[in-house]
Chains A and B, each alone.
Chain A
Amino acid sequence: MLPESSCPLAEIARVTEYLAGQSARQCGPCSNGLPALAGALGHVAFGRPAGDLLHWTRQLLGLVSGRGACHLPDGTAGLVGSTLTTFEADLRYHASRGPCGRAARPPVLPLPPPPARSSPPVPPGSRARPEALR
């Protein structure tokens, strides 16, 4: 449960960023769409108000939902979609005045630390595939 002292948009933006990082990068709509969705929600939570940002965020939900081989994009879109519905008042505040004071507070929802990068990250668009399948 989120305490009232936390900003739900900031909390879910961080979770979305984490989920985007969990993509197996097998499907284009997921490996492109989830980082875009995380970026858009991050901007809603932490950035300056921008005109069609909310519209773009909602559009992205439709662009990732049901378009992956697994359900990571669906689950992520579900989480963000219900956040946009449930926390409409916060959304209105952020959209008109920018980040609320609570957005800068330390995170409440626990997230695993980002993995230490031992191997170079797979560039978007390329696939980690066995040599035999290339």
Chain B
Amino acid sequence: MSRGGAARRERPRTLKVNPVACQGHGVCMELLPELIAADPWGYPLIAPGPVPAKLLPLAQRAVNSCPTLALLLTSPE
């Protein structure tokens, strides 16, 4: 249901990991422990569901900081 530009901006966004690209550097879980935890081998476990609006800037920073560009912030179409 579209409500124009405002609704478009508020589209829920989700964090995803490209499992092949991810090499478990652990930067994302350092930068965004609110949503990303480490599994027993140091690979990220991401909290399910959309990223809360107030965490979006931090999520974007984690995405930008991933050394292998494996972390993605996606918006479902």
Contact = CB atoms under 8 A, between A and B. Distances in A.
B41 A33 contact: yes
Q: Contact residue range for chain A?
A: 10 to 19
A32 B18 CA distance: 16
Contacts of A68: 19
Contact of B20 (A26, A32, A36, A63): A26
Interface string A17-36: 00000000011111011001
Give chain B's interface secondary structure class.
loop
A29 B20 contact: no
B60 interface: no
Tell which of B20, B42, B45 has the most Cβ of chain A within 10 Å: B20
A113 B13 CA distance: 47
Tell which of B18, B19, B22, B24 has the most Cβ of chain A within 10 Å: B19
A48 B18 CA distance: 38
Please provide the 6 A-B residue pairs with the shortest distance between their CB atoms, ordered closest to farther.
Answer: A27-B19, A32-B41, A28-B43, A26-B20, A69-B20, A69-B19
Interface of A: 26-30, 32-33, 36, 63, 67-69, 125, 127
22 contacts: A27-B20, A27-B22, A28-B19, A28-B24, A28-B41, A28-B42, A28-B43, A29-B19, A29-B39, A29-B41, A30-B19, A32-B40, A32-B43, A33-B39, A36-B40, A63-B39, A63-B40, A63-B45, A67-B43, A69-B18, A69-B20, A125-B23
